[in-house]
């Protein structure tokens, strides 16, 4: 089965565009109770997109010479290269951020109604601790954070167990507590709603 040059170009560039957007977004994936950070998901998508691009290019070479006009093919190659660079930079930025801030990911139990799961990313840099809560649905994918907080002295409340997670019919409520010496200075609660 041969794809038209326009369709194969659109598929190749489209998959790279999806990867570039994902690499700069705040997403994560939970697989069998383990968290795959957004930069890891994006790295996997980039590999898939590059393999797809390679396969489509190879198929295109075998097709008739009635392919894309040279000008459109050059534009598609330039766009592909730009998207690859954008995705690679986003992946690198996310990986370096996790490394520098010594990020820790926690999957909180119990799960809520319909398999909704709370995931927390805690970081610490210098004397400030930060946290982000994600609501992960049945798909295992969180497309963005539900809430964030800041704690004094790099304290990690979820890692220390100073939090409460309550589930109801409408979702969950995560309450973060600091200590008397390491208080929560911004935020401190997250509404968790899994809609997918």
- What single-letter DSSP state applies at residue 169? T
Query: Can you give the pLDDT of all 196 residues of the chain as single tens digits?
Result: 555 666 767 777 888 888 888 888 888 999 998 999 999 999 999 999 888 878 877 766 555 444 545 555 677 778 888 989 999 999 999 999 999 999 999 999 988 888 889 999 999 988 889 999 999 988 899 988 888 999 988 889 999 999 999 998 878 999 998 888 888 888 888 899 886 5
Q: Write down the pLDDT at residue 73.
A: 64
Q: Write down the pLDDT at residue 167.
A: 92
Flag whether the pTM goes above 0.85: no
Q: Give the H/E segment covering residue 122.
A: strand 117-125
Q: Give the H/E segment covering residue 43.
A: helix 38-62
Residue found under tokens 């002295």: 153
Sign of CA dihedral 184, 185, 191, 195: negative
Say what angle helices 5-23 and 38-62 make with each other, to 10 degrees: 170
How far apart CA 81 and CA 27 sit, in angstroms, is 24
């Amino acid at each position: 089965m041969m794809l038209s040059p326009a369709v194969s170009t659109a598929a190749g560039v489209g998959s790279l565009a999806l990867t570039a957007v994902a690499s700069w977004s705040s997403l994560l994936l939970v697989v069998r109770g383990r968290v795959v950070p957004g930069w890891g998901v994006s790295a996997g998508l980039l590999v898939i997109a590059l393999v797809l691009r390679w396969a489509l290019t190879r198929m295109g070479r075998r097709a008739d010479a009635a392919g894309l006009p040279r000008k459109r093919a050059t534009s598609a190659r330039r766009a592909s290269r730009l998207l690859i660079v954008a995705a690679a930079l986003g992946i690198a930025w996310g990986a370096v951020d996790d490394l520098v801030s010594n990020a820790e990911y926690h999957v909180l139990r119990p799960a809520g109604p319909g398999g909704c799961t709370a995931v927390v990313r805690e970081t610490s840099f210098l004397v400030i601790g930060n946290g982000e809560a994600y609501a992960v649905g049945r798909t295992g994918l969180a497309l963005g954070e539900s809430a964030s907080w800041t704690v004094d002295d790099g304290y990690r409340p979820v890692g220390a167990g100073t939090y409460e997670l309550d589930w109801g019919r409408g979702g969950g409520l995560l309450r973060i507590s600091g200590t008397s010496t390491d208080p929560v200075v911004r935020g401190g609660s997250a509404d968790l709603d899994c809609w997918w």
